[in-house]
Structure 1
Amino acid sequence: MAGHDLAAAVEMSRLRNMLRVLTADRLTPPCEILRRLNIAMETVDPEATATCVLSRVEEAEPGGWRLNYAVAGHPPPLLISAGGDARFLDAVADPLLGSPLDRPYRCATEPLPPGSTLLLYTDGLVEHPGEDLDTSLDRLRGHAADLADRPLEDFCDDLLDAMPSTGTDDIAMIALRVSTQARHQGP
């Protein structure tokens, strides 16, 4: 959602609630849910735009996990292996929500190896005035790779400390670590 004021917060809350309704009772692919949200936005507020990563962790096989995801104008998820290899999941990147009505969105799936860390984050973590976005994304990838062996809470705290902040944009992160234990434990 564009903006950082009360009106933007209210609109984001409205979109979040619509998204909850669309995901509440079905296992529809994330790309189809984003397509339906885009259509709903045309009715509720045709001038609104927003970015989104919608993802679902699924059991691919007993004890094996994968990410099913769609991206609409949002920075890509980052997957960090237990050994510290970090790469952006950029197989799909569709336009932001609020784009032309009933445009199809695309999904992708990605295996989540044991011990890997999945990071979802807002653009406030990586966008800085006067800095090329690729430079900031490379910085994020490098810091995340260096922190791969840290406990998840420390990984998040140390990553926030390592990334520069302008203090003018919101920053939120969701990190998930896949268990290295018994095959039937979840991520």
Structure 2
Amino acid sequence: MSTTKVTFRRAALARRLALPAAEVAQRSQQLCEQLFQYFPVAQWRWLHLFLPLARRNEPDTWPIIHRIWTEKLPVRLAAPVVQADGISLRHYELTPATPLQSSRWGIPEPAAIADTEVPTIAFDAVLVPLLAVDRAGHRIGYGGGFYDRFLAQCRPDTQFIGLNVLDEPPVAAIPDVLPTDVPLTACITPGGVWRF
């Protein structure tokens, strides 16, 4: 029987959920350090990032956010808000003063205030959640297609950078890649950076 995305997704999620919270925190700090070491964060005008769903052991992006704010870097931040249709995202600026609310899935989101909405063409880089990636930069997420639809709307020069707390190299090939799947530019793991 051939391996499918569903099989890959289930296995990777199980490995991630098995990590103790302290390990996720330590690895998330390593992801933060790799990002600042290997990418020109201070040169970006807009960085899009996700806010973590802790109960799924997602990479914690708050160390990245707080470092940008603490060091007063010129890059501005935005985070996604899932829309009522359940399939699309809109993006809002994230500042220290931004109120956060919890989505129906328990994901923290910035308050959707009209004048803080950021168009997809503004982003210089997008930090992308994932469970696994292959050597061509194709990723496995949760299967909703949110990020593929979003990334397809970004500028051609936008960097798409995956974050993975599982310290695993890219797999040879992810099965059943769709024409609508948007490959990553790079992926950061606790142990290193992979570029595609």
TM-score, normalising length from structure 1?
A: 0.28
Which of the pair has more CA radius of gyration?
1
